[in-house]
Amino acid sequence: MSTPLVSILMGSKSDLPIMKGAPEVLEELGIGYELTTLSAHRTPHRVMKLAEGAKKRGIKVIIAGAGMAAHLPGVVAAFTTLPIIGVPIIAGNSPGGLDAVLAILQMPPGVPVATVAMNGSRNAGILAAQIIGASDPEVAEKLANFKEKMREKVETLADEVEEKGYKAML
Ligand code: RP5
């Protein structure tokens, strides 16, 4: 795989089934990534080390997903000036994911985390690519193709609904 430009982090191995959307879409786009599990609460020193070293390793964007008291994205943001994308995960005994949404979204002034939808790991991957694509023409080109394919797919479905009527599509 190509040099990692995106670091994908998650609070636990139990987050993998949700977080896999990020590496999947980066693979579709041909963008290199690194991926690991680490926890703001259980392995705080590992989080600090990874976040502090990310820029030197050539990482451009960090995606961090966590559930429950989801402090991982915010703590990572405390240790780097790289852009952080937070993915709130609906985990365990969560009250509908609201715990993680608020923990990731409500960052104090000066330390932003760009928060995607609950379980929105695929969008986190796309947003990471778009941030990189703002200054990397090769990635921008890949994204343009990606969006074009999406448009074609959605328009084909729209044509089908219009042609067959809604009952046939249920
Ligand atoms: C969070 O606690 C993790 O991100 C995960 O969503 C949740 C539960 O973790 P496990 O107990 O399954 O390891 O820190």
Q: How far is the CA of 11 from the centre of ligand 1 (A)?
A: 6
Atom 7 in ligand 1: which residue has the minimum CA distance?
A: 67
Q: How far is the CA of 66 from the centre of ligand 1 (A)?
A: 7
Q: Does residue 129 share a domain with residue 105?
A: yes
Q: Does residue 169 share a domain with residue 104?
A: no
Residue 30 predicted with pLDDT over 70: yes
Q: Does residue 100 share a domain with residue 66?
A: yes
Atom 5 in ligand 1: which residue has the minimum CA distance?
A: 67
Q: Does residue 73 share a domain with residue 25?
A: yes
Q: Does residue 34 share a domain with residue 77?
A: yes
Q: What is the pLDDT of residues 79-114, one digit of tens each?
A: 999 999 999 999 989 999 999 999 999 999 999 999
18: confidence class by pLDDT, cuts 50, 70, 90:
very high
SS (H, E, C) the chain: CCCCCEEEEECCHHHHHHHCHHHHHHHHHCCCEEEEECCCCCCHHHHHHHHHHHCCCCCCEEEEEEECCCCHHHHHHHCCCCCEEEEEECCCCCCCCHHHHHHHHCCCCCCCCEECCCCCHHHHHHHHHHHHHCCCHHHHHHHHHHHHHHHHHHHHHHHHHHHHCHHHHC
Q: Does residue 92 share a domain with residue 31?
A: yes
165: confidence class by pLDDT, cuts 50, 70, 90:
very high
Report the domain count for the chain: 2
Ligand 1 neighbours by CB, cut-off 6 Å: 11-12, 14-15, 39, 66-68, 89, 91-92
Q: Does residue 48 share a domain with residue 73?
A: yes
1: confidence class by pLDDT, cuts 50, 70, 90:
low
Residue 21: predicted pLDDT: 98
Atom 3 in ligand 1: which residue has the minimum CA distance?
A: 11
Q: Does residue 122 share a domain with residue 64?
A: yes
Q: Specify the pTM.
A: 0.96
Atom 13 in ligand 1: which residue has the minimum CA distance?
A: 12
Q: How far is the CA of 129 from the centre of ligand 1 (A)?
A: 26
Q: Does residue 160 share a domain with residue 116?
A: no
Q: Does residue 170 share a domain with residue 158?
A: yes
Q: Does residue 53 share a domain with residue 111?
A: yes
Range(s) of the domain holding residue 145: 137-170
Q: Does residue 154 share a domain with residue 113?
A: no
